[in-house]
Structure 1
Amino acid sequence: MKDERDLSELIEIIPDAALVVNKDGKIVLVNQLAAAMFGYTHDELHGSMLDKLLPEGIHEQHRQHVLRFFKAGQNRPMGQGFRFLGVRNHGDTFHVDIMLSHVTVKHEPYAIAFIRDATQFKQTEDKIRRELESERKQALTDYLTGVGNRRAFYQELEQDIAELREGHHSFSVALIDLDDFKLVNDTFGHDEGDRALQMIAQGIREACRGSDFVARIGGDEFATIHPGVTLADTETILQRVRSGVIALTKQEGWQVSLTIGICHCESYSEACTVESILRTADQAMYNGKRRGKNQIKIEPLRS
């Protein structure tokens, strides 16, 4: 065969690694670039099964893919989502992009694969993904205390409302105001005030459960969301929060206490909106302020 010689010569002069396989997954032609990419000599790959270049765990899956490729009769351009792990001669894996095309020699169907080492691309892709994830977290994190920010709190509350609408768990929302916090800044300076906010935020988080959500939504105002709780559970958690933070502030010499307003959402109603829940918790907190501060107050969510 002239056709085979022409194809063999073609894949040697193209600038990509390339190989040709038959419908059984056997490598019938391979160029030097492909052999070198996988760490073999040309003769070591020629006549081998394509499985030799793939992790053992995907052999069967890849055989099915080869069958579908030959049956479909459609080419697959480079960059259209076909990436797999290749295995070099010494066992190390690397990411590979391929372009697949159908070719017929003496009425027999073959697939020609043009292969590119995608390691650098994958590393760049992973770096971008990490940077985007970091930016996303920063956008939802309070820069000073490391707890959630107002935006994160609103997103979390909207999610809890949606779950309550679907008949899932009840939840409580608490607004926590630091009584007389201005005195910390006035007496000790703003650097000490920042340190106090950081330590208080950590104290609130430690007193809450792992499933609870803590956010700083204003200068000296925090908010918490407690999923799957009864009102009694909520009071227990927030009494623990208040006691723990007061012990901390006394230890540090800060004359700061906590006034907390709670809104408990037992079942869904039209009143279950972000605005009405926050308004209710804020009213409860305001009532606590009027009655002497340093206390926990509850306000029912009205329809």
Structure 2
Amino acid sequence: MKLDDNFRQIMEVIPDAALVVDRRGHIVFANRLLHEMFGYPPEALCGCSLERLVPPESHSRHDAAVAGFFAQMRHRPMGRGLQFRGLRADGETFPVAIMLSQAHLDGEDHAMAFVRDHTHQQAAEDRIRHELEQQRAMALTDPLTGLGNRRAFDLELNEELRELRNQGRQFAIGFIDLDDFKQVNDRFGHELGDRVLRELAQLIREACRSTDLVARIGGDEFATLHPNASQEDALQVLERVRLQFLEHLHDKDWPVTVSMGVCACDDPGTEYHQEAILAAADQAMYEAKQRGKNQIRLARLETRRAANA
């Protein structure tokens, strides 16, 4: 197919890489910028299938886009944008933005594609996305221990309540509080107090399952969330924490132990409320303190049947 010289000249001076394809998906013209973008010498792409510029895994999607463009050409507004990955001559793939427009050349319908390399834009978007993910993680992380914070715990607890209602999946939570922690700060200073918190955080994390969430929810208070676990399961985990902490303290002059409360939610037909669950676990923990510290107490949770149970 012979294109008008004026058309060729216009396509060569525009600031975008551009090409023209026929209904069969064959390239009938590609300007210098497009050849340079994809790493081909001048005129090398003319007569080639458009698939040469697309990774094999994208061929079907790309073919469907071209066929769809020609099928609806008369009813489609000018300048439809698409996002694809391009394939350079050396095998490198890169993100491209494509703007399609119709052209009637030499008595036949063609598609004109204006192509922009989005490598830098994609990198900028990835960088922004990574920064946002980091900010979100920081917003959910306790900076001293690296555990989740109160907000992270509340979000996960709300999700477990939803799973219990919808899927019948039981769970349990634990509250852990350091006994006599103020004495550590008063006698040894806040630097050692921070060390105690970090080491207890590590012990709790190691004692819990990989699916459990461990969070620091207050100054010397920690919480654990145990998905798909019974009260007995959580009790075993927390007893392991208690015993390992005692062993950890064996050669240290730290006047601390841990008191804990456990609360289980295991009935999909019961109307559980997040505030009530937290209050019950907290109350059980304080009962442990009142009964001599260094122990675990089970929560008594006041509940009622859900209306649709």
Decide whether aligned partners of structure 1 residues 2 and 57 sit closer, same or farther in structure 2, where only a CA change above 3 A counts.
closer
Q: Which amino acid aligns with 1:43?
A: E
Gaps of at least 5 residues in structure 2 are 304-309
* Aligned residues between the structures: 301
- Which residue of structure 2 lines up, in the alignment, with residue 260 of structure 1? 260
Decide whether aligned partners of structure 1 residues 251 and 119 sit closer, same or farther in structure 2, where only a CA change above 3 A counts.
farther
TM-score, reference length from structure 2: 0.93
Asked whether 1:4 is paired with 2:4, we answer yes
Q: 1:76: how far off?
A: 6.6
- Which residue of structure 2 lines up, in the alignment, with residue 296 of structure 1? 296
Q: Which amino acid aligns with 2:68?
A: R
Within a 5 Å distance, the mapping from 1:66-105 to structure 2 comes to 66-73=66-73, 74-75=76-77, 77=79, 80=81, 82-105=82-105
Q: 1:5: how far off?
A: 3.1
- Which residue of structure 2 lines up, in the alignment, with residue 205 of structure 1? 205
- Which residue of structure 2 lines up, in the alignment, with residue 215 of structure 1? 215
Within a 5 Å distance, the mapping from 1:145-164 to structure 2 comes to 145-164=145-164
Q: Which whole-Å deviations, capped at 9, do the CAs of 1:191-241 have from their partners, x for residues lacking one?
A: 111111111101101000001111000000000111111221111111111
Asked whether the 8 Å contact 1:246–1:257 carries over to 2, the reply is: yes
Give the Cα separation in 2 of the matches to 1:245 and 1:94.
Answer: 53
Give the Cα separation in 2 of the matches to 1:86 and 1:76.
Answer: 22
Decide whether aligned partners of structure 1 residues 110 and 150 sit closer, same or farther in structure 2, where only a CA change above 3 A counts.
same
Aligned-pair Cα RMSD in Å? 1.7
Q: Which amino acid aligns with 2:176?
A: I
Decide whether aligned partners of structure 1 residues 167 and 61 sit closer, same or farther in structure 2, where only a CA change above 3 A counts.
closer
Asked whether the 8 Å contact 2:78–2:102 carries over to 1, the reply is: no
SS in 1 for 2:44: helix
SS in 2 for 1:166: helix
TM-score, reference length from structure 1: 0.95
- Which residue of structure 2 lines up, in the alignment, with residue 42 of structure 1? 42
SS in 2 for 1:142: coil
Q: 1:108: how far off?
A: 1.3
The farther-off stretch of 110-119 and 247-256 is 247-256
Q: 1:106: how far off?
A: 3.4
Decide whether aligned partners of structure 1 residues 146 and 76 sit closer, same or farther in structure 2, where only a CA change above 3 A counts.
farther
Q: Which amino acid aligns with 2:183?
A: L
Asked whether 1:128 is paired with 2:135, we answer no
Q: 1:7: how far off?
A: 2.5
Q: 1:167: how far off?
A: 3.2
Identity across the alignment (%): 47
